[in-house]
A and B are shown apart, each in its own frame.
Chain A
Amino acid sequence: MAHAENASGAEPEQQHPIGLYLKIWGLLFVLSTLSYMVDYFQFQGMLRWSLILIFMVLKAGLIVAVFMHMMWERYALIYLITVPPLAILVLVAFMALESNYVYLLRMVYLSGFG
Protein backbone atom coordinates (compact mmCIF):
# COMPACT_ATOMS: atom_id res chain seq x y z
CA MET A 1 0.00 0.00 0.00
CA ALA A 2 2.29 2.68 -1.25
CA HIS A 3 0.09 5.51 -0.35
CA ALA A 4 1.54 8.83 -1.08
CA GLU A 5 1.93 11.63 1.38
CA ASN A 6 -1.57 12.61 2.15
CA ALA A 7 -2.85 16.07 2.07
CA SER A 8 -2.38 16.72 5.75
CA GLY A 9 1.33 16.64 4.98
CA ALA A 10 4.27 16.12 7.30
CA GLU A 11 4.27 12.38 6.76
CA PRO A 12 6.92 10.55 8.65
CA GLU A 13 9.61 9.89 6.11
CA GLN A 14 11.84 8.31 8.71
CA GLN A 15 15.12 9.77 7.61
CA HIS A 16 17.18 11.34 10.31
CA PRO A 17 20.79 12.43 10.62
CA ILE A 18 23.26 9.64 11.32
CA GLY A 19 24.87 11.76 14.01
CA LEU A 20 21.73 11.47 16.12
CA TYR A 21 21.82 7.67 15.97
CA LEU A 22 25.48 7.63 16.90
CA LYS A 23 24.86 9.88 19.90
CA ILE A 24 22.02 7.65 21.13
CA TRP A 25 24.16 4.60 20.55
CA GLY A 26 26.91 6.11 22.69
CA LEU A 27 24.41 7.07 25.36
CA LEU A 28 23.08 3.50 25.49
CA PHE A 29 26.62 2.24 26.04
CA VAL A 30 27.14 4.69 28.88
CA LEU A 31 23.82 3.77 30.51
CA SER A 32 24.57 0.05 30.22
CA THR A 33 27.96 0.57 31.79
CA LEU A 34 26.37 2.52 34.61
CA SER A 35 23.79 -0.18 35.28
CA TYR A 36 26.53 -2.80 35.31
CA MET A 37 28.41 -0.64 37.81
CA VAL A 38 25.37 -0.80 40.12
CA ASP A 39 26.06 -4.50 40.47
CA TYR A 40 29.83 -4.27 40.38
CA PHE A 41 29.94 -1.89 43.34
CA GLN A 42 27.17 -3.86 45.07
CA PHE A 43 24.84 -0.98 45.84
CA GLN A 44 21.97 -2.25 47.97
CA GLY A 45 18.48 -1.35 49.03
CA MET A 46 16.53 1.60 47.68
CA LEU A 47 19.61 3.11 46.06
CA ARG A 48 20.13 -0.05 44.01
CA TRP A 49 16.47 -0.22 43.01
CA SER A 50 16.16 3.38 42.00
CA LEU A 51 19.38 3.30 39.96
CA ILE A 52 18.37 0.07 38.21
CA LEU A 53 14.95 1.46 37.34
CA ILE A 54 16.22 4.86 36.22
CA PHE A 55 18.81 3.37 33.87
CA MET A 56 16.31 0.81 32.60
CA VAL A 57 13.65 3.41 31.81
CA LEU A 58 16.16 5.73 30.14
CA LYS A 59 17.52 2.93 27.95
CA ALA A 60 14.08 1.66 27.01
CA GLY A 61 12.89 5.19 26.27
CA LEU A 62 15.83 5.96 24.01
CA ILE A 63 15.46 2.71 22.08
CA VAL A 64 11.73 3.17 21.54
CA ALA A 65 11.79 6.92 20.87
CA VAL A 66 14.80 7.17 18.57
CA PHE A 67 15.82 3.75 17.26
CA MET A 68 12.21 2.69 16.73
CA HIS A 69 11.30 6.18 15.49
CA MET A 70 8.40 6.47 17.89
CA MET A 71 9.00 10.15 18.57
CA TRP A 72 8.33 10.97 14.92
CA GLU A 73 5.11 8.97 14.63
CA ARG A 74 1.62 10.37 14.97
CA TYR A 75 -0.22 10.13 18.26
CA ALA A 76 -2.66 7.55 16.82
CA LEU A 77 0.20 5.04 16.68
CA ILE A 78 2.10 6.24 19.76
CA TYR A 79 -0.90 5.80 22.03
CA LEU A 80 -1.86 2.47 20.49
CA ILE A 81 1.55 1.10 21.45
CA THR A 82 2.27 2.83 24.75
CA VAL A 83 -1.07 2.80 26.58
CA PRO A 84 -2.08 -0.92 26.59
CA PRO A 85 1.16 -2.12 28.27
CA LEU A 86 0.21 -0.01 31.29
CA ALA A 87 -2.24 -2.84 32.07
CA ILE A 88 0.83 -4.92 32.90
CA LEU A 89 1.59 -2.50 35.72
CA VAL A 90 -1.83 -3.22 37.17
CA LEU A 91 -1.08 -6.93 36.99
CA VAL A 92 2.27 -6.31 38.69
CA ALA A 93 0.57 -4.43 41.51
CA PHE A 94 -1.99 -7.20 42.03
CA MET A 95 0.62 -9.94 41.92
CA ALA A 96 2.87 -8.10 44.34
CA LEU A 97 0.01 -7.99 46.85
CA GLU A 98 -0.81 -11.61 46.17
CA SER A 99 2.74 -12.81 46.60
CA ASN A 100 3.10 -11.03 49.93
CA TYR A 101 0.01 -12.88 51.06
CA VAL A 102 1.28 -16.22 49.78
CA TYR A 103 4.61 -15.56 51.45
CA LEU A 104 2.92 -15.02 54.81
CA LEU A 105 0.78 -18.13 54.36
CA ARG A 106 3.88 -20.17 53.61
CA MET A 107 5.64 -18.78 56.65
CA VAL A 108 2.73 -19.91 58.79
CA TYR A 109 1.95 -23.28 57.26
CA LEU A 110 5.32 -24.50 56.01
CA SER A 111 7.29 -23.70 59.13
CA GLY A 112 5.49 -26.13 61.38
CA PHE A 113 3.38 -23.64 63.27
CA GLY A 114 0.26 -24.70 61.41
Chain B
Amino acid sequence: MGQTSTATAPAKPTAMGQMASDWASDEEVFKGVSWGKSMMWIFLLSDTFVFGTFLTGYMTMRMSSTVAWPNASEVFSLNIAGTDLPLILIAIMTFVLISSSGTMAMAVNMGYQRRAKKAAMFMAGTAVLGAMFVGMQAFEWTKLIHEGVRPWENPFGAYQFGSAFFMITGFHGLHVSIGVLYLGIVARKVWRGDYEKKGDYQIVEITGLYWHFVDLVWVFIFAFFYLW
Protein backbone atom coordinates (compact mmCIF):
# COMPACT_ATOMS: atom_id res chain seq x y z
CA MET B 1 0.00 0.00 0.00
CA GLY B 2 1.78 3.01 -1.38
CA GLN B 3 1.03 5.90 0.85
CA THR B 4 -0.14 5.24 4.32
CA SER B 5 -1.78 8.15 5.95
CA THR B 6 -0.87 8.18 9.56
CA ALA B 7 -3.74 8.45 11.92
CA THR B 8 -1.62 10.29 14.41
CA ALA B 9 -1.62 13.99 14.91
CA PRO B 10 1.58 15.97 14.26
CA ALA B 11 2.35 15.86 17.95
CA LYS B 12 4.50 12.87 18.86
CA PRO B 13 2.12 10.27 20.36
CA THR B 14 2.86 8.50 23.57
CA ALA B 15 3.62 4.80 23.26
CA MET B 16 0.21 4.00 24.72
CA GLY B 17 -1.54 6.41 22.38
CA GLN B 18 0.39 4.88 19.52
CA MET B 19 -0.80 1.41 20.51
CA ALA B 20 -4.41 2.57 20.62
CA SER B 21 -4.19 4.13 17.17
CA ASP B 22 -2.34 1.09 15.76
CA TRP B 23 -5.15 -1.21 16.80
CA ALA B 24 -7.90 1.25 15.88
CA SER B 25 -6.55 2.49 12.55
CA ASP B 26 -8.55 0.01 10.45
CA GLU B 27 -5.45 -1.09 8.60
CA GLU B 28 -2.58 -3.44 9.42
CA VAL B 29 -1.88 -3.39 13.13
CA PHE B 30 1.77 -4.36 13.29
CA LYS B 31 3.27 -1.47 11.40
CA GLY B 32 6.72 -2.09 10.04
CA VAL B 33 6.56 -5.75 11.04
CA SER B 34 6.43 -8.21 8.16
CA TRP B 35 3.74 -10.89 8.15
CA GLY B 36 6.41 -13.55 8.59
CA LYS B 37 7.63 -11.99 11.79
CA SER B 38 4.21 -11.31 13.26
CA MET B 39 3.10 -14.87 12.45
CA MET B 40 6.19 -16.26 14.14
CA TRP B 41 5.43 -14.18 17.22
CA ILE B 42 1.84 -15.39 17.30
CA PHE B 43 2.98 -18.98 16.92
CA LEU B 44 5.41 -18.49 19.79
CA LEU B 45 2.60 -17.03 21.88
CA SER B 46 0.58 -20.20 21.33
CA ASP B 47 3.62 -22.31 22.15
CA THR B 48 3.98 -20.35 25.39
CA PHE B 49 0.59 -21.71 26.39
CA VAL B 50 1.63 -25.26 25.52
CA PHE B 51 4.66 -25.14 27.78
CA GLY B 52 2.89 -23.00 30.36
CA THR B 53 0.18 -25.60 30.80
CA PHE B 54 2.70 -28.46 30.84
CA LEU B 55 4.58 -26.79 33.66
CA THR B 56 1.37 -26.01 35.50
CA GLY B 57 0.33 -29.66 35.19
CA TYR B 58 3.68 -30.69 36.59
CA MET B 59 3.24 -28.29 39.50
CA THR B 60 -0.21 -29.71 40.21
CA MET B 61 1.04 -33.30 40.24
CA ARG B 62 3.96 -32.43 42.43
CA MET B 63 2.02 -30.37 44.95
CA SER B 64 -0.77 -32.91 45.29
CA SER B 65 1.46 -35.97 45.63
CA THR B 66 1.59 -37.50 49.09
CA VAL B 67 4.75 -39.41 48.19
CA ALA B 68 8.05 -37.52 48.35
CA TRP B 69 9.16 -36.09 45.01
CA PRO B 70 12.52 -37.39 43.75
CA ASN B 71 15.40 -35.03 44.52
CA ALA B 72 16.38 -33.67 41.08
CA SER B 73 19.76 -32.63 42.41
CA GLU B 74 20.61 -36.28 43.13
CA VAL B 75 18.74 -37.92 40.25
CA PHE B 76 20.57 -35.78 37.71
CA SER B 77 23.99 -35.87 39.32
CA LEU B 78 26.90 -37.39 37.48
CA ASN B 79 30.01 -38.97 38.88
CA ILE B 80 32.95 -37.29 37.22
CA ALA B 81 36.50 -38.17 38.29
CA GLY B 82 35.31 -39.69 41.54
CA THR B 83 33.14 -36.83 42.75
CA ASP B 84 29.38 -36.58 42.50
CA LEU B 85 28.49 -33.33 40.82
CA PRO B 86 24.83 -32.40 41.24
CA LEU B 87 22.93 -31.45 38.09
CA ILE B 88 26.19 -31.11 36.18
CA LEU B 89 24.89 -32.39 32.86
CA ILE B 90 21.90 -30.06 33.07
CA ALA B 91 24.20 -27.14 33.79
CA ILE B 92 26.33 -27.99 30.75
CA MET B 93 23.21 -28.28 28.61
CA THR B 94 22.11 -24.86 29.84
CA PHE B 95 25.44 -23.33 28.87
CA VAL B 96 25.36 -24.99 25.46
CA LEU B 97 21.89 -23.63 24.78
CA ILE B 98 22.83 -20.13 25.93
CA SER B 99 25.90 -20.23 23.72
CA SER B 100 23.68 -21.18 20.82
CA SER B 101 21.45 -18.21 21.55
CA GLY B 102 24.53 -15.99 21.41
CA THR B 103 25.67 -17.36 18.06
CA MET B 104 22.10 -16.95 16.79
CA ALA B 105 22.11 -13.28 17.80
CA MET B 106 25.40 -12.91 15.90
CA ALA B 107 23.82 -14.54 12.83
CA VAL B 108 20.93 -12.06 12.92
CA ASN B 109 23.37 -9.19 13.21
CA MET B 110 25.47 -10.46 10.30
CA GLY B 111 22.30 -10.88 8.24
CA TYR B 112 21.30 -7.28 8.71
CA GLN B 113 24.81 -6.25 7.74
CA ARG B 114 24.21 -8.31 4.58
CA ARG B 115 27.20 -10.51 5.27
CA ALA B 116 25.38 -13.60 4.07
CA LYS B 117 28.20 -16.13 4.36
CA LYS B 118 28.97 -15.14 7.92
CA ALA B 119 25.30 -15.23 8.85
CA ALA B 120 25.00 -18.73 7.40
CA MET B 121 28.12 -19.85 9.28
CA PHE B 122 26.77 -18.56 12.58
CA MET B 123 23.45 -20.28 11.91
CA ALA B 124 25.23 -23.52 11.18
CA GLY B 125 27.18 -23.11 14.42
CA THR B 126 23.92 -22.56 16.26
CA ALA B 127 22.51 -25.74 14.74
CA VAL B 128 25.60 -27.70 15.83
CA LEU B 129 25.20 -26.48 19.42
CA GLY B 130 21.52 -27.38 19.25
CA ALA B 131 22.38 -30.86 18.06
CA MET B 132 24.85 -31.18 20.95
CA PHE B 133 22.05 -30.25 23.34
CA VAL B 134 19.77 -32.94 21.90
CA GLY B 135 22.63 -35.44 22.12
CA MET B 136 23.13 -34.73 25.81
CA GLN B 137 19.43 -35.00 26.37
CA ALA B 138 19.43 -38.40 24.69
CA PHE B 139 22.26 -39.41 27.04
CA GLU B 140 20.25 -38.21 30.04
CA TRP B 141 17.14 -40.09 28.94
CA THR B 142 19.19 -43.26 28.39
CA LYS B 143 20.71 -42.97 31.85
CA LEU B 144 17.35 -42.50 33.54
CA ILE B 145 15.70 -45.28 31.57
CA HIS B 146 18.50 -47.64 32.61
CA GLU B 147 17.90 -46.63 36.21
CA GLY B 148 14.30 -47.70 35.85
CA VAL B 149 12.54 -44.37 35.37
CA ARG B 150 9.35 -44.84 33.37
CA PRO B 151 6.37 -42.56 32.80
CA TRP B 152 4.41 -44.76 35.20
CA GLU B 153 7.02 -45.58 37.86
CA ASN B 154 10.50 -44.85 39.11
CA PRO B 155 12.71 -46.01 41.96
CA PHE B 156 13.26 -42.53 43.45
CA GLY B 157 9.86 -41.41 44.70
CA ALA B 158 6.56 -40.12 43.36
CA TYR B 159 5.63 -41.93 40.16
CA GLN B 160 4.42 -38.75 38.49
CA PHE B 161 8.06 -37.66 38.25
CA GLY B 162 8.64 -39.87 35.21
CA SER B 163 5.64 -38.70 33.25
CA ALA B 164 6.40 -35.03 33.89
CA PHE B 165 10.05 -35.54 33.02
CA PHE B 166 9.53 -37.38 29.74
CA MET B 167 6.66 -35.17 28.67
CA ILE B 168 8.28 -31.81 29.35
CA THR B 169 11.87 -32.49 28.36
CA GLY B 170 10.66 -34.59 25.43
CA PHE B 171 8.51 -31.83 24.06
CA HIS B 172 11.29 -29.32 24.54
CA GLY B 173 13.81 -31.65 22.90
CA LEU B 174 11.45 -32.01 19.97
CA HIS B 175 11.39 -28.24 19.64
CA VAL B 176 15.18 -28.11 19.67
CA SER B 177 15.39 -30.87 17.05
CA ILE B 178 12.93 -29.11 14.76
CA GLY B 179 14.86 -25.89 15.35
CA VAL B 180 18.07 -27.60 14.21
CA LEU B 181 16.37 -28.65 10.96
CA TYR B 182 14.83 -25.21 10.51
CA LEU B 183 18.19 -23.53 11.06
CA GLY B 184 19.84 -25.89 8.61
CA ILE B 185 17.29 -25.16 5.89
CA VAL B 186 17.44 -21.39 6.30
CA ALA B 187 21.24 -21.36 6.65
CA ARG B 188 21.52 -23.25 3.36
CA LYS B 189 19.29 -20.74 1.60
CA VAL B 190 21.22 -17.82 3.06
CA TRP B 191 24.52 -19.41 2.03
CA ARG B 192 23.23 -20.01 -1.52
CA GLY B 193 22.40 -16.32 -1.82
CA ASP B 194 18.64 -16.71 -2.12
CA TYR B 195 18.08 -13.41 -0.34
CA GLU B 196 20.87 -11.52 -2.07
CA LYS B 197 18.66 -9.98 -4.77
CA LYS B 198 16.21 -8.38 -2.39
CA GLY B 199 18.85 -7.81 0.23
CA ASP B 200 16.30 -8.65 2.92
CA TYR B 201 17.69 -10.87 5.62
CA GLN B 202 14.79 -10.66 8.03
CA ILE B 203 14.32 -14.40 7.59
CA VAL B 204 17.38 -14.82 9.82
CA GLU B 205 15.76 -12.76 12.54
CA ILE B 206 12.52 -14.77 12.28
CA THR B 207 14.41 -18.04 12.56
CA GLY B 208 16.25 -16.49 15.48
CA LEU B 209 12.97 -15.71 17.24
CA TYR B 210 12.10 -19.40 17.21
CA TRP B 211 15.53 -20.38 18.43
CA HIS B 212 15.62 -17.86 21.26
CA PHE B 213 12.18 -19.05 22.30
CA VAL B 214 13.50 -22.59 22.66
CA ASP B 215 16.24 -21.22 24.92
CA LEU B 216 13.63 -19.21 26.82
CA VAL B 217 11.53 -22.30 27.52
CA TRP B 218 14.62 -24.06 28.83
CA VAL B 219 15.15 -21.21 31.32
CA PHE B 220 11.76 -22.03 32.84
CA ILE B 221 12.23 -25.81 32.70
CA PHE B 222 15.64 -25.44 34.34
CA ALA B 223 14.19 -23.32 37.15
CA PHE B 224 11.02 -25.28 37.83
CA PHE B 225 11.88 -28.83 36.96
CA TYR B 226 15.54 -29.11 37.89
CA LEU B 227 16.07 -26.50 40.60
CA TRP B 228 12.79 -26.78 42.51
The answer to whether B38 touches A77 (Cβ under 8 A) is yes
The answer to whether A32 touches B95 (Cβ under 8 A) is yes
Bound CA span A77–B4, Å: 19
List the A residue with the shortest CB-CB distance to B97.
A32
Task: Report B80 CB to chain A, min CB distance, Å.
Answer: 14
Query: Is the C-beta of B31 less than 8 angstroms from some C-beta in chain A?
Result: yes
List the A residue with the shortest CB-CB distance to B29.
A76
Provide the residues of chain B in CB contact with A14, threshold 8 Å.
Answer: 108, 112, 205
Provide the residues of chain B in CB contact with A113, threshold 8 Å.
Answer: none
Q: Quick one: given A6-B6, A25-B98, A99-B59, are A59 and B112 in contact (CB under 8 Å)?
A: no
What is the 8 Å Cβ interface bit string for chain B, positions 190-222, against chain A (1 contact, 0 not)? 000000001010000100110011011001101
Task: Report B136 CB to chain A, min CB distance, Å.
Answer: 15
Query: Is the C-beta of B30 less than 8 angstroms from some C-beta in chain A?
Result: yes
Provide the residues of chain B in CB contact with A5, threshold 8 Å.
Answer: 32
The answer to whether B45 touches A35 (Cβ under 8 A) is no
What is the 8 Å Cβ interface bit string for chain A, positions 1-15, against chain B (1 contact, 0 not)? 111011110011111
Provide the residues of chain A in CB contact with B5, threshold 8 Å.
Answer: 7
Task: Report B213 CB to chain A, min CB distance, Å.
Answer: 7
Provide the residues of chain B in CB contact with A100, threshold 8 Å.
Answer: 63-64
Interface of A (DSSP majority class): helix
What is the 8 Å Cβ interface bit string for chain A, positions 90-113, against chain B (1 contact, 0 not)? 011001101110110011001100
Q: Quick one: given A36-B94, A42-B73, are A103 and B66 in contact (CB under 8 Å)?
A: yes
Bound CA span A113–B67, Å: 17
List the A residue with the shortest CB-CB distance to B222.
A35
Query: Is the C-beta of B34 less than 8 angstroms from some C-beta in chain A?
Result: yes
The answer to whether B101 touches A28 (Cβ under 8 A) is yes
Task: Report B84 CB to chain A, min CB distance, Å.
Answer: 11
The answer to whether B22 touches A56 (Cβ under 8 A) is no
The answer to whether B219 touches A60 (Cβ under 8 A) is yes
Residues of B92-115 at the interface with A, using a CB-CB cut-off of 8 Å, are: 94-95, 98, 101-102, 104-106, 108-109, 112-113
Provide the residues of chain A in CB contact with B108, threshold 8 Å.
Answer: 14
Residues of B76-94 at the interface with A, using a CB-CB cut-off of 8 Å, are: 86-87, 91, 94
Q: Quick one: given A53-B223, A56-B219, are A76 and B112 in contact (CB under 8 Å)?
A: no
Query: Is the C-beta of B52 less than 8 angstroms from some C-beta in chain A?
Result: yes
Q: Quick one: given A29-B95, A84-B45, are A74 and B219 in contact (CB under 8 Å)?
A: no
Per CB-CB distance, the 4 closest pairs between chain A and chain B, nearest first, are A11-B32, A99-B63, A75-B19, A99-B64
Question: Apart from A14-B112, A15-B109, A48-B227, what are 19 other A-B pairs with CB-CB below 8 Å?
Answer: A2-B200, A12-B33, A18-B106, A18-B109, A32-B91, A39-B73, A40-B87, A52-B227, A60-B216, A63-B212, A67-B215, A68-B216, A74-B15, A77-B30, A77-B41, A80-B45, A96-B60, A103-B66, A111-B66
Interface of A toward B, CB cutoff 8 Å: 1-3, 5-8, 11-16, 18, 21-22, 24-25, 28-29, 32, 35-36, 38-40, 42, 48, 52-53, 55-56, 59-60, 63-64, 66-69, 73-77, 79-81, 84-85, 88, 91-92, 95-96, 98-100, 102-103, 106-107, 110-111
